[in-house]
Structure 1
């Protein structure tokens, strides 16, 4: 029963922390991470990560990626395909290159340096969307491009992550030859195509005809968890299966119903545990010890996305101010980068001593992104008046 008390404490503290953060204009996820920092081994030592917290955390990250897939607007992607694709491609290449170079500067292995770049390549525009809503700029060319690019960015990161786990040693303990692994993964991506095109629509339609309470939600979770399990079985990360399951269910007419209910399930229990669990593993003393690393990677995190987005937008024919606004909208890392970081840590692809500094880097880049976006957005909107 000790875990029940721990879970209750986590839920109360994360709810209060997220509320307070949002009241002062800070993303709620920051508050949840801070709870982990404060009550974990680096702070008050009230909570220690154990098997049950780890399991809840795993379910939380799967549901989080499923929701990310559900939110991926394919219609928006098609409408702003060219600028969104260019912004996303350069917004992944620049952080990969600069992040890898930064890793070399701090004397880590080639594999670890590359994966540090992968972490920085992730984008989470949920915070940018809040700023765009506040400025009534969601439906502008720039706002729509940011949203479209975020869809492409998510897909690119999931693909880069799956390739990284296959070739960089993230599948430790798997004795199969690389050829068999690649064949299995190729079959899996064929399955994803079939899922999006036919299987998910059929299963969701079938679920509406089953006389069981919440049958639609149950079926969506079966698809999510099933695809996560199969992804893990073929040597990919479980979150990759969850993400594409979300895209598949998101193409059906029950998308909104599923999103509302799964969001409630996830954010009520499992997702807060995921963010707290990351904070539990962070030693606050590392801020001082690794300050040069944190400073360097915060600069890389901001500059790489800002200039990547700018260059992609300019190639798509945007004006200077518009291009800077799009680049600023891609800076925030948020939960996507934390997910990639956690997976890399579990696969031995992130240097153990740099895990905590990377969490802090993600936090800082997420906090400064709204300020930079507001600065450039106001410039654009002033010229449009």
Structure 2
């Protein structure tokens, strides 16, 4: 089968332009791609046409896209999801599921069609939420955390139910329900065992192969899991999704995982998946808007009302109030890519009619279009009432690079209020840190495996205190880009480096200068080892009006005690008059 280059070029060009236009006005690109297929394809103008080769590319695109979705979901996060996230996910899934099932079956649809439409109504779009939360600057709020957790759980639940419906709807073994169920259970058990026990056995080898070497392995695992899902009677997208969930940092490493996700995103979201969404638009029957107007209005209505009210009702036991629940429901109302993929597979499998497929596409477009508007109104409402709550910082603890005497002493000071881990390549330094009651990891901080072992994924601070500006900058960059550590401090030692070199290193990682300025690492190490330097506490120097006199801060200032917390300081640290200074005095 020859690949039709002209139709492919036309589909990609229209998808690109329509996707960019949608993003420009605040909507996900998938809506623009769908509209391009509807307007330029057979449903309206007929300028774009399909081809069997395009269908192959489209199917590969959704496999890669579901791999990417799976890689974005951390299975451990599902287990640690907050009570609010679980309740929001259940309410936002169950209520529209039940209402949509009732509408479809009351309208004359089959039980299977009702279940399928109900499942599609319960889906929520993780990608849509991420983009909108960034645009509205809500990532540090409680509703953002609950919304993302709810989207993770709802999408995972939808795909599990989807697997069961596909298997039951298309039994290949004489209609034996027990055999169908057994194959699905075997698939989930086998993939769980492979992902939990088999893949981690090759983690070391995979992480040494680098991105270029690991990428073919990722594609191989994707195809194997997808084929296993197909053999179990489910669809390959379920296998792709599960493969992504297990091909995570603990298997292929943080740096490689980040690079692979970038490659997959560019290949799937940027090239192949748009082919799927444009060609999915080809199959929409616009006559449904005229012939089944009432059905369209009712399905979109129950999906929206069910999502918003269901989320709010289930969210009440958290004690955060019905208003926050309504805003959450409005934010989770968009369906997006996953629902379109599920609907198209349901159409191809004969589970839903073309009329119902068209209704689901309209539902995806309409509900997703409401999210930015309703969420912005809801956030403004909560903010005006003083009920928009900032989430607690989920990261905690500090990682100190270097286990020299100064860093060990600093680690002891900080350990009064947070977990502290030191990293050093020298065995004697690590042993001395452990003797002092600290956690130490021997290894190179330039390797993400070492940082992972030290808990970089949960750390709030990284203090790069090796005294080598090049190494400190590289470690700081790794901490920022791969582990997203929010606070990175670099040591400045004027006896070892020029100020310009330190400023360049600091700008390279968007970090801060540790302590109050230049800190002579070797000199303080010597004094600590000799016992001539001791830790003491002092008040913050202030004027009579309470203004902090930063010029009078002591040179050996290590940290600040603020209430029960001990905080590492930097040159732009905001001192409070009631703070207690922890000082290294000689």
> Would the TM-score normalized by the shorter structure come out above 0.5?
yes
CA distance in 1, matches of 2:220, 2:232: 18
The question of whether the paired residues in 2 share the 8 Å contact of 1:67 and 1:263 is answered with yes
1:366 aligned to 356, 365, 368, which one?
368
Question: 1:244, CA displacement in angstroms?
Answer: 0.8
Higher normalized contact order (CA 8 Å, seq sep 6+, divided by chain length): 1
Please name the residue that 2:357 is paired with.
Answer: 355
Question: 1:29, CA displacement in angstroms?
Answer: 1.0
Please name the residue that 1:177 is paired with.
Answer: 176
Please name the residue that 1:239 is paired with.
Answer: 237
Alpha-carbon deviations, 1:325-371, whole Å to 9, x = none? Answer: 22112111001111111121122111232221221121111111221
Question: 1:192, CA displacement in angstroms?
Answer: 2.1
Please name the residue that 2:117 is paired with.
Answer: 116
Q: Does 1:195 align with 2:194?
A: yes
The question of whether the paired residues in 2 share the 8 Å contact of 1:231 and 1:237 is answered with yes
CA distance in 2, matches of 1:263, 1:242: 14
Structure 1 length-normalised TM: 0.93
Partner secondary structure for residue 262 of structure 1: helix
Question: 1:275, CA displacement in angstroms?
Answer: 0.2
Length, aligned pairs only: 382
Please name the residue that 2:30 is paired with.
Answer: 29
Please name the residue that 1:322 is paired with.
Answer: 324
Partner secondary structure for residue 139 of structure 2: coil
Partner secondary structure for residue 21 of structure 2: helix
Please name the residue that 1:221 is paired with.
Answer: 219
Say if 1:10 and 1:242 are closer, same or farther in 2 by CA, change over 3 A: same
Please name the residue that 1:276 is paired with.
Answer: 278
Please name the residue that 1:50 is paired with.
Answer: 51
Structure 1 unaligned segments of length 5 or more: list them: none
Please name the residue that 2:485 is paired with.
Answer: none
Q: Does 1:287 align with 2:285?
A: no
Say if 1:111 and 1:318 are closer, same or farther in 2 by CA, change over 3 A: same
The question of whether the paired residues in 2 share the 8 Å contact of 1:306 and 1:324 is answered with yes
Say if 1:196 and 1:317 are closer, same or farther in 2 by CA, change over 3 A: farther
Question: 1:60, CA displacement in angstroms?
Answer: 1.3
The question of whether the paired residues in 2 share the 8 Å contact of 1:201 and 1:249 is answered with no
Partner secondary structure for residue 214 of structure 1: helix
Please name the residue that 1:267 is paired with.
Answer: 269
Q: How does 1:51-200 map to 2 (within 5 A)?
A: 51-74=52-75, 76-167=77-168, 169=169, 171=170, 173-175=172-174, 177-200=176-199
CA distance in 2, matches of 1:24, 1:274: 22
Question: 1:68, CA displacement in angstroms?
Answer: 1.1
CA distance in 2, matches of 1:354, 1:176: 25
Question: 1:195, CA displacement in angstroms?
Answer: 2.9
The question of whether the paired residues in 1 share the 8 Å contact of 2:61 and 2:268 is answered with yes
The question of whether the paired residues in 1 share the 8 Å contact of 2:126 and 2:152 is answered with no
User: RMSD in angstroms over aligned alpha carbons?
Assistant: 2.0
Structure 2 length-normalised TM: 0.62
Partner secondary structure for residue 108 of structure 2: coil
Bigger proportion of residues as helix: 1
Say if 1:173 and 1:73 are closer, same or farther in 2 by CA, change over 3 A: closer
Q: Does 1:18 align with 2:19?
A: yes
The question of whether the paired residues in 2 share the 8 Å contact of 1:333 and 1:366 is answered with yes
Partner secondary structure for residue 333 of structure 1: coil
Question: 1:207, CA displacement in angstroms?
Answer: 3.2
The question of whether the paired residues in 2 share the 8 Å contact of 1:73 and 1:151 is answered with no
CA distance in 1, matches of 2:286, 2:53: 24
Structure 2 unaligned segments of length 5 or more: list them: 389-586
CA distance in 1, matches of 2:328, 2:222: 32
Question: 1:9, CA displacement in angstroms?
Answer: 1.1
CA distance in 2, matches of 1:310, 1:145: 12
The question of whether the paired residues in 2 share the 8 Å contact of 1:108 and 1:351 is answered with no
Partner secondary structure for residue 25 of structure 1: coil
Question: 1:176, CA displacement in angstroms?
Answer: 6.6
CA distance in 1, matches of 2:218, 2:383: 41
The question of whether the paired residues in 2 share the 8 Å contact of 1:122 and 1:157 is answered with yes
Partner secondary structure for residue 324 of structure 1: helix
Alpha-carbon deviations, 1:41-69, whole Å to 9, x = none? Answer: 11222333332121111111111111111
Please name the residue that 1:249 is paired with.
Answer: 247
